[in-house]
Chain A
């Protein structure tokens, strides 16, 4: 798993690559939480290049969402397609997150 971070104006964009599973979820979650704790008010996580997400990865996403809510920050996910989309549906996670088709859509939504 690899994370590539960028900014689009005041929105932080995190592109994740590879597997989001028991071995990588902690690093993924820790990095997102530290971004939230450091005061980033709007974060888009792009999952387009993620191969799959297991329950450990979903737990990290849920913990991140909880942290953003506590900090009154905003979180959007994008690139939820194919097998990853199917896993969101199987786990009934689709309604737990703001999911946008693309990074640009996510940035636009969070800047509203």
Chain B
């Protein structure tokens, strides 16, 4: 693909791990494997590994399911960066502009609820979320602290 998400030069961090996947659901297993390996390599608490895995599953599922106006192949880049006190996760895709921070929280009492719970998980499991749209690329940055 010619115009996939760019991989910008890496900021200073003590460790970084990255994977580029295609926009199909089966590719998500590779992301979970990356997170598990990253967590094991850096001895991250299980709660942090779970938070990253669930958040990435929700975000990537959204992008793959609803993010594209065509049926073609697109690349999505997932990058994990270990800082001193937190993990930063960057997700970049070239789908249509979508800012998850603008999605209203779901009504958790509504038993017929179908949508919205995924982003509720992301918001609940992470400590900071930032969205930017640049040069046709959605960039979502999550921060997860290493201690509660």
Interface residues of A (CB under 8 A from B): 19, 21-23, 51-56, 58-59, 82-83, 86-87, 90-92, 96
| B29 touches A (CB below 8 Å) | yes
A53, A86, A91: the one contacting B120 at CB < 8 Å is A91
Within 8 A of A (CB), among B50-93: 50, 53-54, 57-58, 60-61
Cβ–Cβ < 8 Å partners of A58 in chain B: 117
In contact, B121 and A55 (Cβ under 8 angstroms):
yes
In contact, A54 and B120 (Cβ under 8 angstroms):
no
Chain B residue total in the interface (Cβ 8 A)? 24
In contact, A56 and B121 (Cβ under 8 angstroms):
no
* Among A23, A87, A91: residue with most chain B CB under 10 A: A23
A19, A23, A82: the one contacting B25 at CB < 8 Å is A23
| B99 touches A (CB below 8 Å) | no
Cβ–Cβ < 8 Å partners of A19 in chain B: 32, 53
Tell me the dominant secondary structure on chain B's binding face.
helix
A-B contacts, 28 listed (Cβ < 8 Å)? A19-B53, A21-B28, A21-B53, A21-B54, A22-B28, A23-B26, A23-B28, A23-B29, A23-B32, A51-B50, A51-B53, A52-B50, A52-B53, A53-B54, A54-B61, A54-B118, A55-B118, A56-B61, A56-B118, A58-B117, A83-B47, A83-B50, A87-B50, A87-B54, A87-B121, A90-B125, A91-B117, A96-B111
